[in-house]
Protein backbone atom coordinates (compact mmCIF):
# COMPACT_ATOMS: atom_id res chain seq x y z
CA UNK A 1 0.00 0.00 0.00
CA UNK A 2 1.12 3.57 -0.57
CA UNK A 3 1.44 5.92 2.40
CA UNK A 4 -2.03 7.44 2.17
CA UNK A 5 -5.18 7.23 0.09
CA UNK A 6 -5.35 9.60 -2.87
CA UNK A 7 -9.02 10.40 -2.25
CA UNK A 8 -11.53 10.10 0.56
CA UNK A 9 -15.31 9.95 0.48
CA UNK A 10 -17.67 9.91 3.45
CA UNK A 11 -17.18 6.15 3.87
CA UNK A 12 -14.24 5.09 1.72
CA UNK A 13 -10.54 5.49 1.05
CA UNK A 14 -9.43 5.41 -2.59
CA UNK A 15 -5.88 4.14 -3.05
CA UNK A 16 -3.58 3.80 -6.02
CA UNK A 17 -2.75 0.13 -6.64
CA UNK A 18 0.22 -1.43 -4.89
CA UNK A 19 1.92 -4.82 -5.22
CA UNK A 20 0.65 -5.72 -1.75
CA UNK A 21 -2.95 -5.49 -3.04
CA UNK A 22 -2.76 -8.80 -4.91
CA UNK A 23 -4.24 -11.04 -2.17
CA UNK A 24 -7.07 -8.56 -1.59
CA UNK A 25 -7.84 -8.36 -5.30
CA UNK A 26 -8.06 -12.15 -5.40
CA UNK A 27 -10.50 -12.07 -2.46
CA UNK A 28 -12.50 -9.31 -4.18
CA UNK A 29 -13.34 -11.67 -7.04
CA UNK A 30 -13.63 -14.95 -5.11
CA UNK A 31 -17.43 -14.88 -5.00
CA UNK A 32 -19.07 -16.02 -8.22
CA UNK A 33 -21.75 -13.33 -7.78
CA UNK A 34 -19.11 -10.60 -7.86
CA UNK A 35 -17.93 -11.99 -11.22
CA UNK A 36 -21.43 -12.51 -12.65
CA UNK A 37 -21.24 -9.59 -15.09
CA UNK A 38 -17.50 -9.56 -15.66
CA UNK A 39 -17.38 -11.86 -18.65
CA UNK A 40 -14.48 -14.30 -18.50
CA UNK A 41 -12.88 -12.71 -15.41
CA UNK A 42 -11.15 -15.14 -13.11
CA UNK A 43 -10.42 -14.80 -9.41
CA UNK A 44 -7.05 -16.54 -9.35
CA UNK A 45 -3.73 -14.95 -8.57
CA UNK A 46 -2.45 -14.99 -12.17
CA UNK A 47 -5.51 -13.18 -13.56
CA UNK A 48 -5.50 -10.65 -10.74
CA UNK A 49 -1.76 -10.10 -11.09
CA UNK A 50 -2.33 -9.27 -14.77
CA UNK A 51 -5.20 -6.91 -13.83
CA UNK A 52 -3.02 -5.27 -11.16
CA UNK A 53 -0.18 -4.71 -13.64
CA UNK A 54 -2.54 -3.25 -16.28
CA UNK A 55 -3.98 -0.90 -13.71
CA UNK A 56 -0.56 0.13 -12.34
CA UNK A 57 0.54 0.67 -15.95
CA UNK A 58 -2.45 2.93 -16.59
CA UNK A 59 -1.46 5.03 -13.57
CA UNK A 60 2.20 5.12 -14.64
CA UNK A 61 1.65 5.91 -18.32
CA UNK A 62 -1.49 8.06 -18.25
CA UNK A 63 -1.70 9.45 -14.71
CA UNK A 64 -5.02 7.79 -13.93
CA UNK A 65 -6.38 4.34 -13.26
CA UNK A 66 -8.71 2.29 -11.13
CA UNK A 67 -8.68 2.97 -7.39
CA UNK A 68 -8.45 0.22 -4.80
CA UNK A 69 -11.35 0.95 -2.45
CA UNK A 70 -11.38 0.28 1.28
CA UNK A 71 -13.87 1.26 3.97
CA UNK A 72 -12.32 4.02 6.08
CA UNK A 73 -9.79 2.64 8.51
CA UNK A 74 -10.03 -0.91 7.15
CA UNK A 75 -7.51 -3.00 5.19
CA UNK A 76 -9.92 -5.21 3.23
CA UNK A 77 -10.56 -4.26 -0.42
CA UNK A 78 -14.29 -3.86 -1.04
CA UNK A 79 -14.16 -2.56 -4.62
CA UNK A 80 -12.07 -1.30 -7.49
CA UNK A 81 -13.52 1.76 -9.20
CA UNK A 82 -12.29 4.56 -11.39
CA UNK A 83 -11.19 5.61 -14.85
CA UNK A 84 -8.37 3.67 -16.51
CA UNK A 85 -6.80 3.71 -19.97
CA UNK A 86 -8.27 1.02 -22.18
CA UNK A 87 -7.49 -0.96 -25.29
CA UNK A 88 -10.30 -3.47 -25.87
CA UNK A 89 -9.37 -4.51 -29.41
CA UNK A 90 -12.91 -4.20 -30.76
CA UNK A 91 -11.72 -2.07 -33.69
CA UNK A 92 -11.68 1.70 -34.24
CA UNK A 93 -15.35 1.86 -35.25
CA UNK A 94 -16.37 0.73 -31.74
CA UNK A 95 -14.56 3.64 -30.03
CA UNK A 96 -13.22 1.53 -27.14
CA UNK A 97 -9.51 1.55 -27.97
CA UNK A 98 -6.87 3.92 -26.58
CA UNK A 99 -9.40 5.87 -24.52
CA UNK A 100 -10.28 6.53 -20.87
CA UNK A 101 -12.71 3.86 -19.66
CA UNK A 102 -14.74 3.90 -16.46
CA UNK A 103 -15.25 0.74 -14.48
CA UNK A 104 -16.46 -0.43 -11.10
CA UNK A 105 -16.31 -3.82 -9.43
CA UNK A 106 -17.91 -4.07 -6.01
CA UNK A 107 -17.57 -7.12 -3.79
CA UNK A 108 -20.89 -8.98 -3.57
CA UNK A 109 -21.38 -8.43 0.17
CA UNK A 110 -21.23 -4.66 -0.49
CA UNK A 111 -23.82 -4.65 -3.31
CA UNK A 112 -26.80 -2.36 -2.80
CA UNK A 113 -24.95 -0.03 -0.41
CA UNK A 114 -24.14 2.77 -2.85
CA UNK A 115 -20.44 1.98 -3.10
CA UNK A 116 -20.05 2.48 -6.87
CA UNK A 117 -22.05 5.71 -6.88
CA UNK A 118 -20.16 7.27 -3.96
CA UNK A 119 -16.72 6.23 -5.19
CA UNK A 120 -17.31 7.06 -8.86
CA UNK A 121 -18.56 10.55 -7.93
CA UNK A 122 -15.20 11.20 -6.26
CA UNK A 123 -13.28 9.51 -9.08
CA UNK A 124 -15.00 11.53 -11.82
CA UNK A 125 -14.57 14.81 -9.93
CA UNK A 126 -10.86 14.05 -9.55
CA UNK A 127 -10.44 12.81 -13.16
CA UNK A 128 -12.20 15.84 -14.69
CA UNK A 129 -10.16 18.24 -12.53
CA UNK A 130 -6.81 16.55 -13.20
CA UNK A 131 -7.25 15.54 -16.85
CA UNK A 132 -9.80 17.97 -18.18
CA UNK A 133 -13.15 17.29 -19.72
CA UNK A 134 -13.02 14.44 -22.21
CA UNK A 135 -14.95 11.48 -23.54
CA UNK A 136 -14.97 8.48 -21.19
CA UNK A 137 -16.42 5.11 -22.21
CA UNK A 138 -17.66 2.09 -20.31
CA UNK A 139 -19.12 -1.27 -21.22
CA UNK A 140 -21.82 -3.09 -19.31
CA UNK A 141 -22.90 -6.66 -19.82
CA UNK A 142 -26.54 -7.16 -20.76
CA UNK A 143 -28.66 -7.68 -17.64
CA UNK A 144 -26.48 -5.66 -15.27
CA UNK A 145 -29.14 -3.10 -14.42
CA UNK A 146 -27.33 -1.91 -11.28
CA UNK A 147 -24.33 -0.82 -13.37
CA UNK A 148 -26.63 0.73 -15.97
CA UNK A 149 -28.12 2.90 -13.18
CA UNK A 150 -24.64 3.97 -12.07
CA UNK A 151 -23.70 4.83 -15.66
CA UNK A 152 -26.89 6.85 -16.17
CA UNK A 153 -26.23 8.79 -12.95
CA UNK A 154 -22.96 10.04 -14.44
CA UNK A 155 -24.33 10.94 -17.86
CA UNK A 156 -23.36 7.87 -19.88
CA UNK A 157 -25.48 7.12 -22.94
CA UNK A 158 -25.41 3.87 -24.90
CA UNK A 159 -23.91 4.24 -28.36
CA UNK A 160 -23.33 0.66 -29.49
CA UNK A 161 -23.01 -3.02 -28.71
CA UNK A 162 -20.32 -5.66 -28.97
CA UNK A 163 -20.63 -9.41 -28.61
CA UNK A 164 -17.94 -11.46 -26.92
CA UNK A 165 -16.29 -14.18 -28.95
CA UNK A 166 -16.95 -16.88 -26.38
CA UNK A 167 -18.75 -20.17 -27.15
CA UNK A 168 -21.91 -18.51 -25.81
CA UNK A 169 -21.58 -14.85 -26.89
CA UNK A 170 -22.59 -12.19 -24.39
CA UNK A 171 -23.88 -8.76 -25.37
CA UNK A 172 -21.78 -5.87 -24.08
CA UNK A 173 -23.48 -2.49 -24.19
CA UNK A 174 -21.08 0.33 -25.02
CA UNK A 175 -21.60 3.70 -23.33
CA UNK A 176 -19.94 7.08 -23.52
CA UNK A 177 -19.88 10.14 -21.32
CA UNK A 178 -19.32 13.27 -23.34
CA UNK A 179 -17.99 16.35 -21.60
CA UNK A 180 -17.74 19.43 -23.78
CA UNK A 181 -15.63 22.49 -23.13
CA UNK A 182 -17.99 25.46 -23.12
Per-residue model confidence as pLDDT tens digits over 138-149: 999 999 999 999
**pLDDT at residue 181, rounded to an integer:** 54
Tell me if 14 is assigned to some domain.
yes
**pLDDT at residue 170, rounded to an integer:** 87
Tell me if 89 is assigned to some domain.
yes
Of 182, 116, 110, whose CA–CA distance to 154 is shortest? 116
Of 18, 88, 9, 5, whose CA–CA distance to 53 is shortest? 18
**pLDDT at residue 2, rounded to an integer:** 53
Tell me if 162 is assigned to some domain.
no
**pLDDT at residue 180, rounded to an integer:** 58
CB 71, CB 106: distance < 8 Å: no
- Could you give the CA distance from residue 45 to residue 65 in angstroms, rounded to a whole number? 20
Tell me if 148 is assigned to some domain.
no
CB 94, CB 160: distance < 8 Å: yes
**CATH number, residue 13:** 3.40.630.30
Number of domains composing the chain: 1
Tell me if 69 is assigned to some domain.
yes
Tell me if 142 is assigned to some domain.
no
pLDDT in tens, 9-21: 999 999 999 999 9
Tell me if 119 is assigned to some domain.
yes
Low-confidence residues in the chain, pLDDT < 70 = 1-2, 39-41, 180-182
Boundaries of domain holding 78: 7-133
**pLDDT at residue 155, rounded to an integer:** 96
Measured N-to-C along each axis, helices 145-153 and 115-131 cross at an angle, to the nearest 10 degrees, of 40
Amino acid sequence: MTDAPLLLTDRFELWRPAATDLPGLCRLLEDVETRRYLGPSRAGALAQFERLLRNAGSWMLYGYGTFVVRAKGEDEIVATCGVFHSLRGFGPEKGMDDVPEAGWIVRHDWWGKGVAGEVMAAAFTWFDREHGPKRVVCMIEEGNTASERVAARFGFAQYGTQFTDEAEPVELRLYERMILNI
